[in-house]
Amino acid sequence: MAAKGDTFYAWAADAACQERGECGGAVTALLTHALKSGMVDAVLAVKKGQDIYDAVPTLITDPAEIAQTAGSLHCGTLLLSKLVKQYLDGAEKMRIAVPVKGCDAMGLYELAKRNQVNLDNVLMIGLNCGGSVSPVAARKMIREKFGVDPDDVVKEEIDKGQFIIVTKDGQHKGISMDELEEEGFGRRSNCRR
Ligand SMILES: Cc1cc2nc3c(=O)[nH]c(=O)nc-3n(C[C@H](O)[C@H](O)[C@H](O)COP(=O)(O)OP(=O)(O)OC[C@H]3O[C@@H](n4cnc5c(N)ncnc54)[C@H](O)[C@@H]3O)c2cc1C
């Protein structure tokens, strides 16, 4: 039995979910469990749209669709708390599970203080987010600093202080975030602050 404050290493039990997830798929597995078990009515998560720069928020009620949202989109600068308030009645009539960046969690708490979100109906799963990169700035950075056509990038990740891209021919290229940020690229200034 887990107690408040305990720490666990966790990953998804099913291999496909582990593979699709950013770091083992635990978040996707927890969201799937929350929906399947009836703990929540819906999951609000983020999926890839046209390309890796296009993060699309999506409300899911069928557990089979949650797999589409596995993985982290570091160019996804959307603020999920605002969507809960504006388009989901502040979770007043629906129990919703949401994976949250620090800013999303903070936004939900601030809106709840103003009675604009009902936290009793929100299940937050925190992401260890170190910051997101604006999609327009990311495209410019990839072109100018990595010397790569941004449309050739199929995956990006932030690992051990580097922003790493993977191109469609399987090449990996990483540049230190410090170096990128010294030159005005990298994470959004709000995230850095
Ligand atoms: C923008 C961002 C920056 C991150 N930076 C770091 C970091 O610097 N260091 C670190 O250790 N970990 C970072 N993480 C967390 C890490 O990438 C994984 O999300 C986390 O380890 C969980 O892994 P998982 O395999 O269980 O997640 P998965 O099972 O792959 O689930 C990831 C969940 O995140 C949601 N998601 C994807 N993109 C976004 C987004 N832009 N906004 C909100 N939700 C989103 C997906 O919908 C999905 O539900 C970051 C995550 C994000 C989204």
Find the CATH number of the domain harbouring 160: 3.10.450.750
Q: Are residues 46 and 122 in the same domain?
A: yes
- Pocket flag, ligand 1, residue 102 (CB < 6 Å): no
- Pocket flag, ligand 1, residue 186 (CB < 6 Å): no
Last residue of a domain, one of 126, 149, 165: 126
Q: Are residues 56 and 117 in the same domain?
A: yes
Give the pLDDT of residue 159.
87
Give the pLDDT of residue 143.
97
Q: Which domain holds residue 63?
A: 15-126
**N-to-C CA span, the chain:** 37
- Pocket flag, ligand 1, residue 121 (CB < 6 Å): no
Q: Are residues 27 and 119 in the same domain?
A: yes
Q: Are residues 25 and 94 in the same domain?
A: yes
The pLDDT tens digits of the residues spanning 16-65 come to 899 999 999 999 999 999 999 999 999 999 999 999 999 999 999 999 99
| pLDDT above 90 (res 12) | yes
Q: Are residues 77 and 36 in the same domain?
A: yes
Q: Are residues 118 and 47 in the same domain?
A: yes
| pLDDT above 90 (res 71) | yes
Phi, psi of 192 (to 5 degrees): -65, -40
Residue 8 belongs to a domain = no
Give the pLDDT of residue 77.
95
The pLDDT tens digits of the residues spanning 160-178 come to 889 999 999 999 999 999 9
Domain count, the chain: 2
Assigned token pair, 162:
């580097």
22, 125, 134: residue to mutate for ligand 1 pocket, most atoms within 8 A of CB: 22
Give the pLDDT of residue 158.
87
Contacts of 192 (CB under 8 A, 6+ apart): 131, 181, 186
Assigned token pair, 11:
């990953």
Task: Compute the average pLDDT of residues 70-94.
Answer: 97
The pLDDT tens digits of the residues spanning 181-190 come to 999 999 999 9
23 CA closest ligand 1 atom index: 25
The pLDDT tens digits of the residues spanning 124-160 come to 999 999 999 999 999 999 999 999 999 999 999 988 8
Q: Are residues 105 and 49 in the same domain?
A: yes
Give the pLDDT of residue 55.
97
Q: Are residues 114 and 50 in the same domain?
A: yes
Give the pLDDT of residue 9.
94
∠ CA(147), CA(190), CA(97), 5° rounding?
A: 100
- Pocket flag, ligand 1, residue 25 (CB < 6 Å): yes
